[in-house]
Chain A
Amino acid sequence: MLAALVVFVMALAVGAYVGYPLLFPGRNPQVEDSERREFELRGAQLAGALRELETDHSLGKVADDDFAERHARLAREIEFVEQRLAGAEPSDQTDVDELAERLVKARRAARKHARSGLCPGCGRSNPPAARFCMNCGSRLEEREPTS
């Protein structure tokens, strides 16, 4: 009998606790300023990635040209995040994930372009392994189209 009573009280307490947000909507602790928090987290991640990149470079694990390119990319993303955190609205309403996704797409496109051997500058066809255009000398591999 005692056990039945305990079980009943338990079920009641659980029901009340779980049902509270539905019975009193709007009283729940909402995540405050979630967009700001999202940018802060993203900023911390990017800063961490930058630190790692710098450590790798200082230990000679990343070639200079590769370092410059990746550093610039991270710096661009960090700048974007900082702008949003400072309250300045960039010209378009892109969110940070979209930006990252766009950069990834651009990079893939650039790689594809490089593999095809077509020079993004003059349009001349080059051997697949070429890193610079044989006609105009433009860099084939790491160029990213602006978007």
Chain B
Amino acid sequence: MAEIGHYSLLIAFFLALYSTIASFAGTRVPDLGESARRAALALFWLLTIAACTLVYLLAVRDLTVEYVARYTSTVLPMSYAISAFWAGNAGSLLFWVWLLSAYAALVVRGTRKSPSRLVIPALGVMMLIALFFLGLILFLYRIDPEMTPGMVRDPFYATLQVLFGSPEGGLHPACNPFWRLPLRPAEGLGLNPQLQNPGMMFHPPTLYLGYVGMAVPYAFAMAALLTGRVGNEWLSLTRRWTLVAWFFLSIGNILGGWWAYVTLGWGGYWGWDPVENAAFIPWLLATAFLHSVIMQEKRGMFRTWNMVLVLITFVSTIFGTYLTRSGVISSVHAFARNEAFNIAFLAFMAVALVVSFALLFARRNQLASENPIEAVLSREAAFLFNNVVLVGIALVVLFGTVFPAISSAFTGVQVSMGPAWFNNVLWPLWAMLLLLTGVGPVISWRRARRNEFRRGFAIPFAVGIVVAAALVLAGMRNGYALAFFAICAFVLGTIAQEVFRMLRTRTGTLDSPPARKAPVAAFTRNRRFGSYIVHLGVIIVAVGVTGSSLFERQSDLVLRQGEARPFEDHVFRYTSFRRAQEPNRDVYAAGVEVARAGEVRAKVEVVKEDYHAEQMRWTKARILSSVVEDVYLTLAAFQEDGSAIILSVRRIPLVVWLWIGGAVLVLGSLIAMLPDTRERVRRARPASRTGER
């Protein structure tokens, strides 16, 4: 079975090679172009066969396959065994390239009737990227001294062995998920207990959907540069693709935060871990791109900058994949161990950057801006600041992420850039970005006149001041918190005011029934309305982050069985102890009763687990959520006989708003993706007057 997967990949590699050449040559020859489109579709089906093969091998736990033996065991639950698809390097790369082929196939299907001359070259760029990943999976290998050349059974690698073999050992593919071991091990190594969480099923796929999705706008941008059609065509063709990628990147980041939050030891929902940062940088850059695109569409500005942004966003997604997969940041030794992998990835990023910038330079004259920025107080300037701040944050995060690796490579000294460093450097930028979230959508184009400025900002400004004053009166003395809550209130004021004004002016022009006027007014401007909802989500997230990061309290309670101790207004009673043996783990569970004001609020079990195959002890948090605060309970330690425990209690205010805000943000991006009602009408009747209002 593994052989079918392996040879599907091999056929796919040559198909991608053909499709790349046919795409670039097929821009002038329609039949070749059609063949390239078919090759892209066939690539998707071949990689689907490969992906299904791997899922099957994982599901049946075929331990003769090295990847299956390394990431599963016979006692691992089925859902996690299948999630092991993206747990390791080889599977992740296959998943990446499979998603890319799916995006390419969707582009092919979605542009069947498109007359655009950008589609075929864009397909060529996507196929080129697929070629790199397939090459990595198939042809990247290392010399394994424990393996003799005779042990290489696969005819493909046996041939490579003859051509490139070494007397020092056998050829071992560095990231091929279908590689068979010479001998079947008795048991697999199993999946890291940290990854045995529902987050594992959803977080990596959504994040990868976001990463890979950014390849589509990049491919169209490159196609525009290659063909010289650098107008707005590539933007209008890729707007929804960018939103789709951003949508998945957002979900991926939020799910990642949630997973880290419910998993003890990952530093809360955001610990500025390199892998977290690697996912956050593309999101920041893609956000900047989504904003600057509006400038090009409406004012013919930022044309070069949009190209630069889409380019660096794409490279950052590759960088994110690389950082997550190579382990180069968390362990410097990984660099030496997997040198070929590192060189291949870094070379790919370098080539992508150099070629893209060279093309950009060659077309620089065609990308001149149509309009200049005329005033500092204008929508154009606000968007420029927004971009500067977003890219600035991305650069700070990038610096903080790679600096420890660079420093230790050159000086041998391990420098740690912890959460404190990131928070200290970034808070002014966050404040500025939040402020711009309020200013940008309200301020006038070209030049804001004084009366317009007053009319736009008087009420929101007053809302901000009132909220700050109310918080001071309520006893809040933390300057950061006051500033952030006031800014959030100001931005909420601008959003409410904008939505109200939009609905008021638009409902006046509609002839729908009165009850339907407001929804019709909103959903015939989906892009605008969606963006307001996204901004609302951002503000709710900001409230959650401010509350939870500035006002958390923590205490460790030593409890004997039956004993109760208070922490602030809550009382915690240790009631029972239970030990259970499951196929893959031993579970130690302490029953705790949580009471407030004399009433029992909840009875929970705090748990520690010993995983057999992985030989790891793991603690799971129990969380009591409410809109005001989360009570976060963990079993810090316990007596073997269950006579006493140490219960760790954290009280984290407003954290639930982070997830609510995240959901609102995702919903807003969905709305922004929908076509306007009018657009749908127009597509149904293409011959109608396109210029009608």
Expressed in whole angstroms, the minimum distance between the Cβ of B164 and any Cβ of chain A is 23
Kindly state whether residue B368 has any CB partner on chain A within 8 Å.
yes
Expressed in whole angstroms, the minimum distance between the Cβ of A126 and any Cβ of chain B is 17
Complexed CA–CA distance, A40 and B113 (Å): 12
Whether A59 pairs with B11 at a CB distance below 8 angstroms is no
Main secondary structure of the interface of A (DSSP, over half): helix
Whether B370 pairs with A31 at a CB distance below 8 angstroms is no
Complexed CA–CA distance, A43 and B525 (Å): 18
Segment with Cβ contacts to B, from A49-57, A116-124, A132-140: A49-57
Whether B115 pairs with A34 at a CB distance below 8 angstroms is yes
Expressed in whole angstroms, the minimum distance between the Cβ of B454 and any Cβ of chain A is 12
Segment 452-485 of B: residues with Cβ below 8 Å from A: 452, 455-456
Contact of A108 among B370, B446, B525, B686 (CB under 8 A): B370
Interface size on B, residues (CB 8 A): 63
Flag B424-463 by CB within 8 Å of A: 1 or 0 each: 0000000000000000000111110100100110000000
Expressed in whole angstroms, the minimum distance between the Cβ of B124 and any Cβ of chain A is 15
Segment with Cβ contacts to A, from B38-46, B308-316, B323-331, B541-549: B38-46
Kindly state whether residue A22 has any CB partner on chain B within 8 Å.
yes
Whether A37 pairs with B15 at a CB distance below 8 angstroms is no
Whether B693 pairs with A50 at a CB distance below 8 angstroms is yes
Flag A107-118 by CB within 8 Å of B: 1 or 0 each: 110010000000
Chain B residues contacting A62 (CB-CB under 8 Å) are: 444-446
Expressed in whole angstroms, the minimum distance between the Cβ of B62 and any Cβ of chain A is 13
Flag B1-18 by CB within 8 Å of A: 1 or 0 each: 101100110010001001
Chain A residues contacting B116 (CB-CB under 8 Å) are: 38
Segment with Cβ contacts to A, from B28-36, B203-211, B581-589, B648-656: B28-36
Expressed in whole angstroms, the minimum distance between the Cβ of B365 and any Cβ of chain A is 12
Kindly state whether residue A88 has any CB partner on chain B within 8 Å.
no
Chain A residues contacting B372 (CB-CB under 8 Å) are: 111
Which A residues are within 8 Å of any B CB, using their own CB?
3-4, 6-7, 10-11, 14, 17-22, 25-26, 28, 30-32, 34-35, 37-38, 40-41, 43-56, 58-63, 66, 75, 78-79, 81-82, 85, 97, 100-101, 104, 107-108, 111
Which B residues are within 8 Å of any A CB, using their own CB?
1, 3-4, 7-8, 11, 15, 18, 30-32, 34-35, 38-39, 42, 46, 49, 113-116, 229, 231-233, 236, 297-298, 300, 368, 370-372, 379, 443-447, 449, 452, 455-456, 498, 501-502, 505-506, 525, 528, 676, 678-679, 682-683, 686-687, 689-693
Q: A-B pairs with the 8 shortest C-beta distances?
A: A43-B690, A34-B115, A78-B691, A21-B34, A3-B3, A7-B7, A58-B505, A38-B115
Knowing that A55-B505, A60-B452, A61-B445 are A-B contacts, what are 10 other residue pairs whose CB atoms are under 8 Å apart, sorted by A's residue number? Answer: A18-B15, A21-B35, A22-B35, A38-B115, A46-B690, A58-B505, A97-B229, A108-B368, A111-B371, A111-B372
